[in-house]
Structure 1
Amino acid sequence: MRRFKSERQAQRCLGVHAIVPILITLRLFTPWGLEKAIAEWVDHYNHGRYHESLDNVTPADVFEGRRNEILDQRAPVKARTMTKRKIHNLRLAG
């Protein structure tokens, strides 16, 4: 078992810092209520939340092999956006 310097470090490494306040706020007093809330949170984390470390795709997209397809679709939009931003910044610079 890994040892942590503090409880806060353990929460950050284990990812529980995001869910604990939610569980407290929801006042989940039953085990099945807690199980449901955790399952919903895990589903959101894996399917609904984009991860910067994964080039802003979901873990489910990476797992199912859709990462490159998604990034290929986004590439033209990103290139246009970066060009517009560069032109805008050059105009501001004068």
Structure 2
Amino acid sequence: MAWIVLVVSGVLEAVWATALGRSEGFSRLAPSLVFGAALVLSMGGLAWAMRTLPVGTSYAVWVGIGAALTVVVAMVTGEEPVSVVKVLLIMGLVGCVVGLKLTH
């Protein structure tokens, strides 16, 4: 169960990171509210997962999922250019996250 919560928390990290960018310095209400809610849920889930999973592994998986999804969302929405190198690096990041899960 801790792994499921950790993965969902990593997804929520991408949600709050994307919402933060779209909040335009907290000047837009809806993205600012999404940011706050996703941040609290993401951190809460990470903290809960860390009760049973190692801190280093938990944090690396959480950051990896959040970072990869944030870049993918930015590329899909056209906010960031797509390149073969970026796609390969994201795939490598995801591979590392999967590797951390497999070694635990």
What is the TM-score normalised by the length of structure 1? Answer: 0.31
More helix per residue: 1 or 2?
2
Flag the structure with larger Rg: 1
